[in-house]
Every structure is written in C-alpha cells, then in structure tokens.
Amino acid sequence: MNSRFPKNFLWGASSSAFQIEGAWDEDAKGMTVADYNSFQRSAIQADSKVASDFYHHWKEDIALMKELGMQIYRFSLSWARMIPDGDGAVNPAGIAFYRQVIDELLDNGIEPVVTLYHFDLPYALVEKYNGWEDRRCVRAFERYARLCFETFGDKVKYWQAINEQNLMIRVNERMNIRETDAWKADKIRAQMDYHMFLAHALAVSACHEMVKGGKIGPAVSASCTYPLTNKPQDIWAARMNDCMKAVYCLDMHYYGEYPGYYMRYLKERGIVPAMREADQEILKAGRMDYIALNYYRTLCASFLPADPGHPAGMRVFRTNEVDFDQYGCCRDEKNENLKASEYGAQIDPMGLRLVLNDYYSRYRLPMMITENGLGSPDVLTGDGKVHDSYRIDYLREHLNACAEALEDGVELIGYSPWSFLDLLSSHQGFRKRYGLVYVNREDMDLKDMKRIKKDSFYWYQKVIRTNGEDW
C-alpha cells in the first residue's frame, strides 16, 4: 500500500506553555493573563501553577516524544518567562530553560515549531498599559520576538507569532477586557485586534530579517460554518460567520488590510481603531509565509433579522453564541447530521477537508495543522492503561480528511494534533483531556504526575512509523 502522505510530511504533536509548564513563578517568571485567569478558578479546578509540570519533567517528556516518533514538536514560549515584566529586563533563567528544551529536542531528532504567544500576555503589561489597547504593547512584542529570533533563530525554522488571535480577541477574559458596556468593550477590542495585527506583521518582518530560512505565520482557529437551510440568508449568515471569525484575520496577515465588509462593520459600529499612516507599510511588509491551522469542529448557522434587541450593525464577539453582522445576525444551530463530543463540539472530519481547501484556494500558501484533537474525560484502568478508542477514531477520521485534502491539491506540510500530553484545559482543567500521554493527576489532587501512554499513543506511533500507511 502506498502512503497518501508525502515523504517529507511532518508528524508531530502540540502543547502550549501555560497549559503544560507549571512553575508559574519559578526562576523569576512573571505572572501572565493566562495565569491570572486560571487562578480565578483555583478553588474549583486545576490552575497553571503546576499544570502538567513540564518544567520539571521536560527530559522525560522529550524521551516520550522520541519514542512516539515525533518529527516536530509544536509548543509555545512563555513571554513572561523570557521577559518577566513584558518589556523590561531579560530573564537568563527563562532563556536557559528554553535553550535546554530546544537542544534536547534537536538531539532527539525532533524539530521545534515555536509559537511566541499563546494566550499568555505578561500581566505586567496589563497593569502598565492595559495590554494590547496601548501601542507600547506592540513594540514590547516586537522586542520579545526579536529576542527569540536572536536566541533561537539558528535552531528553529518554523514560527507562529500569535496563537488564535481570531479566537482570543472575542473572549474578554483572554484579552483582559473588563469593560461592561458592550460598545465600549467592542471599541477596546477593535483597537487591541489592530495592535495585534501590527505586532504580528512586525514579528514576521523581524523573522525574515533575522532567521535564515525562517518561516512564520499565524496559528488560526479555523472556522467552518454550514447554513441551516438553503435559504440565501442562511447561506449569507454562515459565510459571514466564517469571514468575521477567521477570514478577515487571514486577509490582514496576507494583504495587510481589512477586507471591505470588515471595514464596513468597524465604521457602522463606530469603532474604527486609531491607525497611523506608516502602519500601512508595516502591515503589508509582514505577509505570512504559511498558515498554522487549529481545527476542532464545525458550526451551523441560521439568519436572524435585526430587531431592537440586537440592532443591525452590532456584533457580539462570542464563540458559540449569537454573532451579528451588518444585515441582522447569525444564530448558532445544532447540526443534526453530526455527532458531538461529550463537551458539545460537533465532530466533523469533512469540515477539515473543506477549510483546508478553502484557505488554500484563497492564499495558495502551505499549511500545517498545529491543533486537532478530542477533549474527553479519559479513565485510567486498574491495570494502568487508558483505552481511548474514541480519540483514535477521531484522529483517524481527521487524518483521512487530511489525505483527501492532499489529493485535492492542498499543500499540507504537517500534522500536529492537540495534544502531546494531558494539559490544562481552560474551562475544564484536567477533567477534559486531549493528550496521547496521560498525566496522572486530577484537578484537586496532584497524585504522582506519572506519564502513562494511552492506546492512542501506540496507534499514532504506528501512523508515524508508516508515514500514514497504517492507521
């Protein structure tokens, strides 16, 4: 049997700093927005203080990555570990930690794929500037990015500047938006979003200047929305949902300007951000090289005409609830044709083939899947095993969608599921697990933190070994 994956296809697995590292204030690391938010829930679930304790288990974890056969490892650096207060002194211990991780990966034949910022803005920048609302945060990010390129640029080729800006911006908590008036909150949000685009573009240009052969792009939370019916309004609602949730972002990273419908939204809502003329050049120069794509599920939408309760022109930025566009709004619907995970995500491998084709036809850029996986409450059996056949089914079906997309002509260069090991899920702590490797802890009981290979680990090991021939 011939593999449906190219010979040089990159197989890996993913994680992010605050979700695995722990050691939240060890060796001078500063607090982050992600830490702050997780501490708000400390009384009811796990927080980022220990997480999966990668900070103290990295050697053992990398040995497991090698055993799995991983060729890439997608993870993030913690900005506040490198520069505790965001824009002040550099922390040598932070650099030393990531240096040893990167070296250990390379010594084990695993290529590091690095995200600079995964939901964990240094909290000091919130205190100083209200974070991304202030332009000084843009320069702070550029400085941090340059530090990373200078320090690790000879060892890391694939970079992602920001993880899921398109999703993060809609979640007040992740942006530290405390404003309760909806319009004022949207105004702040639009300014923050714009500043992040600028920061992204500056990081792209810095990478091109400093990292020989470096490739950098955004990690986007893919959005694929089906219309509930074939009514043209429902089709419009579904399409606009994807445009307002993901495509306008990709357009910014590619063309360096907002698409027309997005500018129209900003104007009608009265929230056009402050921009400087010179920004144009920065945005256009910072074109992404590839798209890192995070995909979990699809959505389904119907059109709701505008009414006084939700006036036309207004849009609520929330992930799964009601989204508004200029012509009314789009209501989140259940898709009766799809089964859902225990946590309500509609499982849809075909949707992955659809977004891969859609994004490829829009930008003709290589893509790498940097997140895809099933969150589930796994059970450790008496004999110390985790039989997660549901995860194997999920991954197998999504890999099949990748193979289809490759055959459709999409330039897919790698697959790195979420996640390598169990980690801190924002709303479900360690109750919802994604890992190929089980971490023996519960939300309120650290147990022994032992690493246990799940059935999906052995299955994926075979997939990698056979370059996707045997799954």
| DSSP states of 146-207 | HHHHHHHTTT--EEEEEE-HHHHTT-HHHHT----SHHHHHHHHHHHHHHHHHHHHHHHHHH
Q: Which of 338, 448, 428 is nearest to 376 (CA)?
A: 428
Binding segment for ligand BG6 (CB under 6 A), chosen from 126-134, 244-252, 260-268, 421-429, is 421-429
- Known active-site residue 277: no
> What number of helices (H) and strands (E) belong to the chain?
17, 14
Smallest gap, in angstroms, from Cβ of residue 372 to ligand BG6? 10
Which positions ≥6 away from 308 have C-beta within 8 Å?
Answer: none
- The strand pairing partners of 219, in sequence order, are 163, 292
Angstrom distance (rounded) from CA 201 to CA 412: 23
Smallest gap, in angstroms, from Cβ of residue 96 to ligand BG6? 25
Which positions ≥6 away from 334 have C-beta within 8 Å?
Answer: 300, 346
Choice between 147 and 247, CB closer to ligand BG6: 247
Task: Indicate the helix (H) or strand (E) that contains 396.
Answer: helix 389-407
- Known active-site residue 371: yes
Task: Confirm or reject binding of residue 165 to ligand BG6 (CB under 6 A).
Answer: no
Angle, alpha carbons 434-76-132 (nearest 5°): 110
Contact 190, 133 (CB under 8 A): no
Angstrom distance (rounded) from CA 469 to CA 464: 9
- Residue from the set 53, 61, 142, 164 that interacts with ligand BG6 by CB under 6 A: 164
Choice between 258 and 420, CB closer to ligand BG6: 420
Choice between 283 and 437, CB closer to ligand BG6: 437
Cβ density class 350-370: b for 16+ within 10 Å, e for less? ebbbbbbebbbeebebbbbbb
Smallest gap, in angstroms, from Cβ of residue 259 to ligand BG6? 23
Smallest gap, in angstroms, from Cβ of residue 421 to ligand BG6? 12
Binding segment for ligand BG6 (CB under 6 A), chosen from 58-66, 198-206, 311-319, 426-434, is 426-434
Helix axes 389-407, 349-363, angle to 10 degrees: 30
What is the number of the residue whose Cβ is closest to ligand BG6? 425
Smallest gap, in angstroms, from Cβ of residue 436 to ligand BG6? 14
Binding segment for ligand BG6 (CB under 6 A), chosen from 77-85, 142-150, 162-170, 231-239, is 162-170
Judged by CB under 6 A, how many residues of this single chain contact ligand BG6?
14
Binding segment for ligand BG6 (CB under 6 A), chosen from 161-169, 183-191, 208-216, 456-464, is 161-169
Smallest gap, in angstroms, from Cβ of residue 172 to ligand BG6? 15
Task: Confirm or reject binding of residue 47 to ligand BG6 (CB under 6 A).
Answer: no
C-alpha separations of 33 from 16, 38, 141, 163 in Å = 14, 9, 15, 14
Instruction: Tell me which residues in 188-227 interact with ligand BG6 (CB under 6 A).
Output: 221
Task: Confirm or reject binding of residue 84 to ligand BG6 (CB under 6 A).
Answer: no
DSSP 246: I
Which amino acid makes up residue 359? Y
CB atoms within 10 A of CB 125: 26
- Residue from the set 45, 326, 426, 456 that interacts with ligand BG6 by CB under 6 A: 426
Angstrom distance (rounded) from CA 308 to CA 387: 51
Which amino acid makes up residue 324? F
Choice between 163 and 241, CB closer to ligand BG6: 163
C-alpha separations of 413 from 53, 135, 291 in Å = 30, 35, 10
Would you state the structure tokens that stand for residue 105, as one six-digit string?
A: 């990966």
Binding segment for ligand BG6 (CB under 6 A), chosen from 142-150, 185-193, 257-265, 425-433, is 425-433
Binding segment for ligand BG6 (CB under 6 A), chosen from 45-53, 196-204, 351-359, 423-431, is 423-431
Task: Confirm or reject binding of residue 294 to ligand BG6 (CB under 6 A).
Answer: yes
Task: Confirm or reject binding of residue 425 to ligand BG6 (CB under 6 A).
Answer: yes
Angstrom distance (rounded) from CA 197 to CA 190: 11
| DSSP states of 357-386 | HHHHHHH---EEEEE----B-----TTS--
Binding segment for ligand BG6 (CB under 6 A), chosen from 29-37, 199-207, 303-311, 422-430, is 422-430
Choice between 16 and 71, CB closer to ligand BG6: 16
Smallest gap, in angstroms, from Cβ of residue 167 to ligand BG6? 6
- Residue from the set 20, 31, 80, 167 that interacts with ligand BG6 by CB under 6 A: 167
- Residue from the set 48, 52, 115, 163 that interacts with ligand BG6 by CB under 6 A: 163
Pattern of binders to ligand BG6 over 370-399, x per CB under 6 A?
A: -x---x------------------------
Q: Catalytic residue, from 371, 411, 442, 469: name it.
A: 371
Task: Confirm or reject binding of residue 82 to ligand BG6 (CB under 6 A).
Answer: no
- Residue from the set 13, 16, 70, 247 that interacts with ligand BG6 by CB under 6 A: 16
- For ligand BG6, the binding residues (CB under 6 A) are 16, 19, 163-164, 167, 221, 294, 371, 375, 418, 425-427, 432
Residue positions annotated with a catalytic role: 164, 371
